[in-house]
């Protein structure tokens, strides 16, 4: 029986060429696996047919948009996950769901190897291969670009020579990855970190320097999940899509950072994540109302660890699962409404309402109705500062 390889297939030039390239290099049959995580563009049926026309013996396609939003984006939202305090894990979140479907396709079609289109310099090779070994440890992994010397110039030449049904061009300067949670752009002139991004870098967001009139939006959460926008019920996917459109119109979610890759190099990345950034900002503010002080402090530490594990491709790690159990517990009371103003690149919260919150007007007010016993403060301060007072006295006594 001929060996079979499942290929993570995007429908673009590199993975289309990889079908034949892998077959020529290994003698194996290739099954293309295309997963829709809200990246837009072409219909899945068109992508499926292209894979077959490029030489795949089978094409596995999956509409995973709701799955991605529910099972991957929402945990990131509950965690307020931002790598380097800026990047909402756009690509890192999509890899585990793609890996899940690669493993399913391998089982369905009897493949013993998976392939992906990553280079040897990026994070995604780790995310794909560690992901596969975590859920399908018997699958071997190959990477045509990294392992089989498939460069872009060779891909173009191969496509033209074999008349593959795919557009070929050497002019596109960028490497782009996108899904419903956001869009990542790198390479080309952006690799010189002194160069400012040009207008053609952006697609999900309009120029924040020329915004439309301010847009007021009301987001309703239940246990950390957005369930309504302006009073209209939404699914997680719909919430992200709506906020992508509304926040994107104001240029919200543009991110330009030099980040630390897992493989040890620094990389300049441009991200657009209007829906993700606006929703995280709303969620964080609702947590300010609903989480107890020490719980909120500790959650920030847990969030950093969770975010780094996901960025580093450890979606299936036991530690991530344990951290997620803590995060999930914190969301029991994260319910209520957040009012935001979207304008000029900013999502600003100016209203909060929660029946499960810890904000008490009568404790907070300085006006009539104040129920806070201010006389208790003197004794509290005395005890609170006692250790520091003792240490300062020792220092004064010993002279250092």
**Digit-coded pLDDT (tens) for 195-220:** 999 999 999 999 999 999 999 999 99
Flag whether 24 is marked binding: no
Residue 51 pLDDT > 90, yes or no? yes
CA distance 106 to 108: 6
Split at pLDDT 50, 70, 90, the class of 154 is confident
pLDDT at 236: 98
Across 366-379, average pLDDT: 90
pLDDT in tens, 174-188: 788 999 999 999 888
Split at pLDDT 50, 70, 90, the class of 148 is confident
Which residues is 5 bridged to in the sheet? 30, 113
Across 42-51, average pLDDT: 89
Q: Is the separation of the CB atoms in 259 and 92 below 8 Å? A: no
| Sequence spans of domains, the chain | 4-173, 176-353, 361-398
Q: Does the active-site annotation cover 14?
A: yes
Q: Does the active-site annotation cover 192?
A: no
Residues in the chain: 400
pLDDT at 120: 87
- Domain covering 361-398 in this structure, CATH number: 1.20.5.470
The distance in angstroms from the start CA to the end CA of the chain is 80
Q: Which of 66, 147, 175, 215 is catalytic?
A: 175
Second CATH level (architecture) for the domain 4-173: 3-Layer(aba) Sandwich (3.40)
Q: Is the separation of the CB atoms in 84 and 250 below 8 Å? A: no
Residue 41 pLDDT > 80, yes or no? no
Flag whether 375 is marked binding: no
Flag whether 259 is marked binding: yes
pLDDT in tens, 232-278: 999 999 999 999 999 999 999 999 999 999 999 999 999 999 999 99
Across 126-133, average pLDDT: 96
pLDDT at 40: 85
Encoded tokens for 200: 């053609």
pLDDT in tens, 278-334: 999 999 999 999 999 999 999 999 999 999 999 999 999 999 999 999 999 999 999
Flag whether 8 is marked binding: yes
Residue 31 pLDDT > 80, yes or no? yes
Mean pLDDT check: name the lowest of 23-37, 126-140, 144-158: 144-158
Q: Which of 48, 91, 94, 124 is catalytic?
A: 124
pLDDT at 170: 65
Residue 172 pLDDT > 80, yes or no? no
Residue 358 pLDDT > 80, yes or no? yes
Q: Which of 48, 50, 95, 246 is catalytic?
A: 95
Q: Do domains 176-353 and 361-398 have the same CATH topology?
A: no
pLDDT at 169: 65
pLDDT at 160: 87
Second CATH level (architecture) for the domain 176-353: Alpha-Beta Complex (3.90)
Flag whether 271 is marked binding: yes
Distances (CA, A) of 374 to 46, 362, 368: 69, 13, 14
pLDDT at 165: 83
- Whole-model pTM: value is 0.94
* Average pLDDT over all residues of the chain: 94
């Amino acid at each position: 029986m001929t060996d079979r390889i499942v290929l993570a297939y995007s429908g673009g030039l590199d993975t289309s060429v990889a079908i034949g390239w892998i077959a020529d290099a290994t003698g194996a049959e290739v099954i293309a696996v295309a997963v829709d995580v809200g990246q837009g563009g072409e219909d899945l049926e068109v992508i499926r047919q292209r894979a077959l026309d490029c030489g795949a013996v089978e094409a596995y396609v999956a509409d995973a948009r709701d799955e991605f939003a529910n099972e991957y984006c929402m945990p990131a939202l509950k965690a307020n996950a931002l790598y380097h305090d800026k990047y909402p894990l756009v690509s890192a979140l999509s890899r585990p769901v793609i890996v899940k479907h690669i493993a399913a396709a391998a089982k369905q079609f009897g493949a013993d190897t998976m392939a992906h289109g990553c280079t040897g310099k990026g994070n995604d090779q780790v995310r794909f291969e560690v992901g596969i070994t975590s859920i399908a440890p018997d699958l071997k992994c190959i990477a045509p670009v990294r392992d089989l010397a498939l460069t872009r110039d060779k891909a173009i030449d191969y496509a033209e020579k074999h008349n593959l049904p795919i557009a070929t061009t050497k002019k596109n300067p960028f490497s782009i990855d996108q899904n419903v949670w956001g869009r990542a752009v790198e390479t080309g002139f952006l690799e010189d970190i002194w160069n400012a991004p040009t207008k053609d870098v952006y697609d999900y967001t309009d120029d924040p320097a020329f915004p439309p009139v301010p847009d007021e939006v009301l987001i309703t959460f239940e246990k950390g999940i957005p369930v309504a926008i302006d009073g209209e019920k939404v699914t997680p996917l719909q919430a992200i899509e709506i906020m992508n459109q509304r926040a994107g119109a104001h240029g919200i979610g543009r991110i330009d950072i030099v980040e630390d890759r897992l493989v040890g190099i620094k990389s300049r990345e441009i991200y657009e994540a209007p829906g993700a950034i606006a929703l995280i900002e709303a969620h964080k503010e609702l947590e300010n109302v609903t989480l107890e002080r020490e719980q909120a402090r500790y959650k920030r530490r847990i969030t950093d660890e969770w975010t780094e594990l996901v960025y580093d491709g450890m979606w299936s790690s036991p530690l991530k699962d344990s951290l997620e159990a803590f995060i999930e517990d914190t969301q029991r009371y994260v319910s209520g409404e957040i009012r935001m103003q979207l304008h000029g690149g900013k999502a600003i919260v100016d209203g909060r309402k929660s029946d499960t919150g810890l904000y008490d007007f009568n404790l907070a007010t300085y006006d009539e109705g104040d129920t806070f016993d201010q006389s208790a403060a003197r004794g509290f301060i005395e005890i609170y500062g006692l250790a520091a007072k003792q240490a300062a006295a020792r220092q004064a006594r010993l002279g250092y």
